[in-house]
Amino acid sequence: MGLSTSAQIKNAMKTLYLHIGLGKTGTSALQSWLSLNAERLSAQGIDYADTVPEVKYGESLSGNGSALHNACVSQDFDTAEALLTATYFFRPENSVAIVSCELLQGIKSSSINEIKKICDRNAIEVKVIAYVRSAYEALFSTYTQFVKRGAYTHRFGEHPSDIAFDSSVECLRRYLDVFQENLHVYNYDVAKTAIQMSFAAATGIDTKGLKPLRSKVNRSLSFQEIETLRRVNALHDGAFSTPISNYVIAKSPSLGTSVFYDEALVRRVREATADSVEWINRQFSLHPVLRIDFFDGTPSEWPGEPAFNDYQPVLRWALDYAPAPQQLPQFAHFLKEFAVLAVEHSEGDALTLLQKARASQNQIVADDGAPAEEEDEQRFRSAETFYLMSYFHDSDAHDHSPSFAKLFGLWLEMIEACAVGSTLCPLENTQIIKAAGQGVQPRHPSMSGYSVIAADSIEKVVALARRCPLLDVGGTVEVSHIVQLYQPGQPRKAHQVEG
């Protein structure tokens, strides 16, 4: 007697393991290990489509499920179906495939439903795999990741989002609603020292003969690295967070890192996440149970302001980095901002940074074929706020340090990016005209020059002025808001002078 239709379908059924993370649970290491062993897995009857082979060399990317994620986000479910039926199952004789991508935890419920519908009509059983981690440690690790990749500049706990654990629970709920008992959740805190073995047990992988990982993948940052990189992020607005952090980590890939514990933050996280952690434990019967944190009562000590030595890896990166043409304007701006920081420690390094900034600007001009002056004129025409930076010092004094001229030259290079017209308009032979009978006499200290600065706030101009070398030799720098005076034929405006 032949098999019934239902039995034939059951025998032809394939299994797709859909690994969705969650965040900061060793996903990058797993993806690197899977990519490293893709051919050996296929020989076992398990397809792992090695669509991002760079991960086997330690690159932290989004795994082989990023294409599926993109298709779901764009609502292109024809492409999603092609991926699920042909790309991920690439050997006809294999009945098991693995897809891994943390981005999949963020897709909508409607997209999750579409994945299930596609798999149901193609006789593919989906088993979703997720790892969960203690709330406090997961939140701190996520914060660290955003310092590395997302341009965070604040300290951990300063933003409400730093202690928001709800997104993990919402993700699990969305997948649970669709896949029910086929959502398998594991405690990362138990499995993290042998995450590959845990994942292998969950997916039926035979680890015998598979290549082990030889180094850490996507390691976290030390406290000092966090403090240094978050300050550097503020200099480039996040444009170079990833390449800089990759460079820093590559210089010491095996550096040990730990979780920063603050008693007040621990209490806040416990209050904010208790219900979520309890739901996870109850819903998925985790043994041992998921904890909120591993704080033992000993708070961590946060480092102080970075020394120049802490910035050395960033300096080496900046001098070695070859930006793409579209990055040149941001890169030149970053080099100048970094030079402002560096000049306090090393005039030579600051000068080298400024020279590279100048070369980047020249490259922009060469690529665009437009004079830099025309670009600056257009940029400053679009700016509405200008400031006068006035310099006062005793030109007859002889107590200037030998390096003052060099430092002041560096200073002018630093403000060039926001200066309107000439960086410095020098003045000399200043005379003060007094009332009749009082004579004409010079004033000491006299105004020795000025710069016109375009900026979006006086605070930014004041911050620049505080770094002027004149202040170190008894001089004074004044900052004033330049107001637009009333002209005939124009409507009158109320003006306020800032200074």
What's the mean pLDDT when you consider all of the chain? 84
pLDDT for the residue numbered 367: 60
Residue 44 has pLDDT above 90, yes or no: yes
Does 190 or 446 have the greater pLDDT score?
190
Per-residue pLDDT, averaged over 60-80, amounts to: 90
Distance CA 184, CA 284 (A): 8
Distance CA 241, CA 359 (A): 22
Distance CA 356, CA 376 (A): 19
Range scoring the smallest mean pLDDT among 114-118, 171-175, 247-251 = 247-251
pLDDT for the residue numbered 484: 63
- Inter-helix orientation angle 66-73/109-121, to 10°: 110
pLDDT for the residue numbered 397: 54
Residue 128 has pLDDT above 80, yes or no: yes
Q: Where are the alpha helices (DSSP H) in 74-207?
A: 77-82, 109-121, 135-149, 166-179, 188-191, 195-203
pLDDT for the residue numbered 314: 94
Residue 186 has pLDDT above 90, yes or no: yes
Range scoring the smallest mean pLDDT among 187-196, 284-293, 351-360, 396-405 = 396-405
Per-residue pLDDT, averaged over 249-271, amounts to: 91
Per-residue pLDDT, averaged over 327-355, amounts to: 84
Range scoring the smallest mean pLDDT among 28-42, 150-164, 326-340, 483-497 = 483-497
Confirm if 410 and 347 have CB atoms less than 8 A apart.
Answer: yes
Per-residue pLDDT, averaged over 201-222, amounts to: 87
How would DSSP label each residue in 148-182? HHS---SPTTSSGGGG--HHHHHHHHHHHHHHGGG
- Residue for token pair 């989002």: 161
pLDDT for the residue numbered 57: 67
Residue 418 has pLDDT above 50, yes or no: yes
Position 48 confidence tier, pLDDT thresholds 50, 70, 90: very high
Position 402 confidence tier, pLDDT thresholds 50, 70, 90: low
Residue 499 has pLDDT above 50, yes or no: no
pLDDT for the residue numbered 77: 95
Query: pLDDT tens digits for 440-449?
Result: 555 556 788 8
What structural domains and CATH numbers belong to the chain? 12-218+261-276 (3.40.50.300), 219-256+300-382 (no CATH), 384-499 (3.30.70.1060)
- Residue for token pair 């704080």: 295
pLDDT for the residue numbered 372: 47
Q: Which helix (H) or strand (E) holds 390?
A: strand 386-393
Position 256 confidence tier, pLDDT thresholds 50, 70, 90: confident
Q: Tell which residue, 420, 411, 499, has the closest CA to residue 462.
A: 499
Q: Which stretch, 117-126, 164-173, 369-378, has highest mean pLDDT?
A: 117-126
